[in-house]
């Protein structure tokens, strides 16, 4: 039903998007959207927890102008959970202070927008809800998430929303018997950014020297058509800050961890 009504067609007129919490009546559509948008199968318990707000916080997007009684039907969603920083995989990236043991993080579990409503800024608005929420929690130091390495639109989106790409996790996802890498993105809040490590300082110095060298060389050689050398923090991080994760997600066995893909 959803596929015919929303997935394939562009929203006909300019939509009027509203954001609201996800509630029990959204259960069916939420399950359907996850099945349509993600290569991972989520267990019923996950959806039950989302709609009943059991350890999961969520926001939904609806198009108030949508006809045929669908003006309150979800066309986008984001789900998150709060985790303790010290129990997370990014504890080393969070600034240390005396109250460190209480630090929390907001982890984005799933984010999606139906195809017909993409590129209207809905996912960006949902992410802003999440970062606002994270900022409102005094103990929270960052929002983070995983994204599968081939998901270009999502990677562009997180970069645009000022998330830092901090790690490449090799073989993080196991989908249909195949390994896929993931990127780990972090958005710091409430002063959570860790001070520069010696490695980061070294990377910065190397980048600075490289940039300086290119600019001098460019002036000497007058290669007018050469593109300026670009330093991508994300790319550097992939190569220099790689870690391996054992948390593969076996789809066939049902997902017990819920990662953004
Ligand atoms: C990723 C997704 C959530 C984006 O939703 P959306 O509502 O279209 O996102 P927005 O309109 O807020 O997009 C804004 C930015 O996303 C990026 N983006 C969106 N579509 C893109 C594409 N096809 N190629 C490259 N970048 C893209 C751009 O940076 C864009 O900014 P710009 O328009 O200023 O260039 C949506 O494509 C989706 O649901 N995909 C399937 C599920 C999924 O992959 N979820 C993320 C899991 S981590």
123 in contact with ligand 1, CB cutoff 6 A: yes
What is the tens place of the pLDDT at every residue in 172-230?
Answer: 999 999 999 999 999 999 999 976 666 666 776 776 677 565 544 444 343 333 333 23
Pairing state between β 164-175 and 243-244: parallel
pLDDT in tens, 59-72: 999 999 999 999 99
Q: How far from 128 is each of 7, 18, 71, 163, 175, CA to CA, in Å? A: 24, 14, 22, 12, 29
In degrees and rounded to multiples of 5, residue 223 shows phi and psi of -85, 80
Q: Going by CA atoms, what residue is nearest to atom 10 of ligand 1?
A: 121
Q: What are the Cα distances from residue 70, in Å, to 50, 109, 121, 126?
A: 21, 26, 20, 20
Predicted local confidence at residue 136, as pLDDT = 98
Residue nearest to atom 34 of ligand 1 (CA): 160
Distance 61 CA to ligand 1 centre (A): 15
Ligand 1 site-directed mutation target among 35, 38, 157, 261, most atoms within 8 Å of CB? 157
Classify the phi-psi angles of 249: left when phi > 0, otherwise alpha if psi is within -120 to 50, otherwise beta: beta
Q: In angstroms, what is the span from residue 119 Cα to ligand 1's centroid?
A: 6
Please, are residues 2 and 33 in contact by the beta-carbon 8 Å criterion?
A: yes
pLDDT of residue 51: 98
Report whether 144 contacts 178 (CB < 8 A). no
Tell me the domain boundaries of the chain. 2-195+234-244, 196-230
Superfamily of domain 2-195+234-244, CATH level 4: Gcn5-related N-acetyltransferase (GNAT) (3.40.630.30)
Quick one: pLDDT at residue 208?
A: 66
In the reported structure, the alpha carbon of residue 114 is separated from the centroid of ligand 1 by a whole-number distance in angstroms of: 11
Q: 140 CA to middle of ligand 1, Å?
A: 26
- The pLDDT of residue 205 is 74
DSSP 91-137: GGGBPP-TTGGG-EEEEEEEEEE-GGGTTSSHHHHHHHHHHHHHHHS
The parts of the chain modelled with pLDDT lower than 70 are: 1-9, 12, 99-100, 195-201, 204, 207-208, 211-258
Ligand 1 touching residue 261 (CB < 6 A): yes
Distance from residue 209's CA to the centre of ligand 1 (Å): 34
Query: Given this model, what pLDDT does residue 239 score?
Result: 31
Determine the Cα–Cα distance for residues 71 and 15; give it in Å rounded to an integer.
10
Instruction: Residue 112: name the closest of 205, 50, 186, 204 by CA.
Output: 50
Question: 16: which 2 tokens?
Answer: 């009027």
> Which residue has its alpha carbon closest to ligand 1 atom 5?
123
pLDDT score recorded for residue 134: 98
Cα 56 to Cα 51: distance, rounded to the nearest angstrom:
9
């Amino acid at each position: 039903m959803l596929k015919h009504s929303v997935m394939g067609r562009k929203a006909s007129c300019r939509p009027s998007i509203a954001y609201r919490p996800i509630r029990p009546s959204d259960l069916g559509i939420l399950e359907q959207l996850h099945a349509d948008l993600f290569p991972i199968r989520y267990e019923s318990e996950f959806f039950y927890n989302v709609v009943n707000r059991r350890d999961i916080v969520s926001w939904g997007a609806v198009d108030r102008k949508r006809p045929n009684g669908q003006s309150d039907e979800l066309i986008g969603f984001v789900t998150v959970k709060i985790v303790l920083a010290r129990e997370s995989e990014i504890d080393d990236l969070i600034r240390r202070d005396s109250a460190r043991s209480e630090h929390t993080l907001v982890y984005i579990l799933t984010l999606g927008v139906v195809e017909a409503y993409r590129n209207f800024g809905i996912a960006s608005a949902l992410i802003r809800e999440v970062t606002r929420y994270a900022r409102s929690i005094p103990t929270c130091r960052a929002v983070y998430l995983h994204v599968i390495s081939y998901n270009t639109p999502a990677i562009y989106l997180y970069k645009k929303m000022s998330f830092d790409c901090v790690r490449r996790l090799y073989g993080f996802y196991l989908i249909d018997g195949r390994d896929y890498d993931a990127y780990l993105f972090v958005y710091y809040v409430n002063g959570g950014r860790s001070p520069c490590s010696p490695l980061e300082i070294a990377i910065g110095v190397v980048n600075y020297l490289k940039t300086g060298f290119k600019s001098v060389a460019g002036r000497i050689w007058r290669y007018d058509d050469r593109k300026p050398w670009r330093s991508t923090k994300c790319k550097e991080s992939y190569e220099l800050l790689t870690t391996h994760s054992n948390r593969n997600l076996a789809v066939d066995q049902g997902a017990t961890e819920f990662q953004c893909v």
